Amino acid sequence: MKSDERLERYAELVVRVGVNLAPGQLLELTAFPEHVPLVRAIARAGYRNGARYVDVRYSDPHVRRAMIEHAADDVLSWSPPWLLRRMEDSGREQSGTVFITGEAEPELLAGLDGERVARAQPRELRELGLKIMNEAANNWTVVAYPNEGWARTVFGEPDVERLWEAVAHAVRLDELDPVAAWEAHLSRLEHRGEQLDDLGIDALRFRGPGTDLTVGLLAQSIWEGGWDVTSWGRQHAANVPTEEVFTTPDLRRTEGTVRSTQPLALQGTVVRDLELRFEAGRVVDVRASTGAEVIQGAIAVDEGAAYLGEVAIVDANSRVGETGLTFFNTLFDENAACHVALGAAYEVCVRDGRGHSPEEKRRRGINTSIVHMDFMIGGPEVEVDALTNDGSAVPLLRKNEWQLA
């Protein structure tokens, strides 16, 4: 496949499966400058598929770096009003929305004051974004664009073609009919979510080197996976790729220690050898060989940031896992391994979970935060069990193989 043709196919997949754009919709893209070729291809694909208008915002990590280095303390968490307006409009207009990831310099912020790095989050914008996401106003998707810097991070050399091949496999672009392949794949994930719902799970237990973690669920927890659906009934695939089934835990009921099985690439910081200890749901100890300061800063951003908001199961069938790569990109790495996330929970994963106040949500054990930070805890050496309501322990993963029939 020629690279131009591959790019156009990818853009079609993003628009038709990721966003599943409805004719006449606004299509909004947020990307880094290094994503220009994909942005342009998605803009063309958007108009071909009936977009009314394609609106692009490029966010520049180097400009953000300059802000973290130099701006006054109160500016770090400031949200430009026009970006709030863009997001408000996006919710009200129920736009199709694409976020492109794939950082050219995943360690751009290494060496800066980690506490300032952690606080550099436009707070109002994050809150509004999470609110709109929980309202399911948008058919949104997160995708990635292979670029030189990212390839250098993964392979130690700028072998973009090799990265493209891995990404194309992970997102099923190597299928004859990627759209049909996605439909079949998402149905399989939906089935898996139903299997887990049927088990009646009280808690999950993860055991492996450095890990003995119990994550208590809510009686109302629902497993999600496969298609996402907007409040107005439009299917979309919020992550391209996606290989996970996930739910919202009880924020009060995580106990034990966990060792991350993959480095974690945040915006400009790579956290390595992360180890956390939880008591009564709360992180009480943080260790890491790089980036510990940024994790410490992030869990201090608000009350919810020190508690879990998501737990997800990924098995060896993952196309991302099949590549055998560490991508230093959460969209990919979280789809290669079981993971948990500190911070905001998904309301869609809780029966009657929508539309409550933050206080009411916390009272019910549903986490709220402006942070949502996934990190990988699964792998071939980590056993995953479901501790069910009837008191039994049901194996879910052994050597990363799915154990349910």
Instruction: Name the site residues for its own copies (rule: CB under 8 A).
Output: 33, 36, 39-40, 43-44, 46-48, 52-58, 60, 62-63, 66-67, 69-72, 75, 78, 80-83, 85-86, 89
Taking every pair of Cα atoms in the chain, the longest distance, rounded to a whole number of angstroms, is 57
81 or 395: CB nearest its own copies: 81
Residue 197 CA to residue 349 CA, distance in Å, equals: 11
138 or 248: CB nearest its own copies: 138
Q: Work out how close the CB of 387 gets to its own copies at its nearest, in angstroms, rounded to a whole number.
A: 48
Q: Work out how close the CB of 353 gets to its own copies at its nearest, in angstroms, rounded to a whole number.
A: 30
**How many CA within 13 A on the CB side of residue 235?**
10
84 or 179: CB nearest its own copies: 84
76 or 189: CB nearest its own copies: 76
76 or 245: CB nearest its own copies: 76
Buried b (16+ CB within 10 A) or exposed e, 85-109: ebbeebbeebbbbbbbbbbbbbbbb
Position 25, amino acid: Q
Q: Are 328 and 153 in contact (CB under 8 A)?
A: yes
Q: Work out how close the CB of 48 gets to its own copies at its nearest, in angstroms, rounded to a whole number.
A: 7
Using DSSP, state whether 234 is helix, strand or coil.
coil
Q: Work out how close the CB of 71 gets to its own copies at its nearest, in angstroms, rounded to a whole number.
A: 6
Residue 121 CA to residue 113 CA, distance in Å, equals: 14
Q: Work out how close the CB of 120 gets to its own copies at its nearest, in angstroms, rounded to a whole number.
A: 12
54 or 170: CB nearest its own copies: 54
36 or 394: CB nearest its own copies: 36
Question: Going along 108-177, which residue ranges are E strands?
Answer: 139-144
Picking from 284, 252, 250, 288, the residue whose alpha carbon sits closest to that of residue 375 is 288
Kindly state the helix (H) or strand (E) to which residue 12 belongs, with its residue range: helix 3-13
Q: Work out how close the CB of 112 gets to its own copies at its nearest, in angstroms, rounded to a whole number.
A: 13
Q: Work out how close the CB of 47 gets to its own copies at its nearest, in angstroms, rounded to a whole number.
A: 3
Structure token digits, residue 67? 């802000």
Residue 113 CA to residue 134 CA, distance in Å, equals: 32
Radius of gyration of the chain (CA): 20
Phi, psi of 315 (to 5 degrees): -115, -175
44 or 398: CB nearest its own copies: 44
Q: Work out how close the CB of 261 gets to its own copies at its nearest, in angstroms, rounded to a whole number.
A: 35
Structure token digits, residue 233? 């009934």
Q: Are 401 and 315 in contact (CB under 8 A)?
A: yes
**CA distances to 4, 97, 186, 263 from 401, in Å:** 37, 34, 19, 22
DSSP structure class, residue 290: B
How many H-runs (helices) and E-runs (strands) does the chain carry? 13, 20
Q: Work out how close the CB of 87 gets to its own copies at its nearest, in angstroms, rounded to a whole number.
A: 8
86 or 252: CB nearest its own copies: 86
Q: Work out how close the CB of 81 gets to its own copies at its nearest, in angstroms, rounded to a whole number.
A: 6
Structure token digits, residue 331? 């969209």
44 or 277: CB nearest its own copies: 44
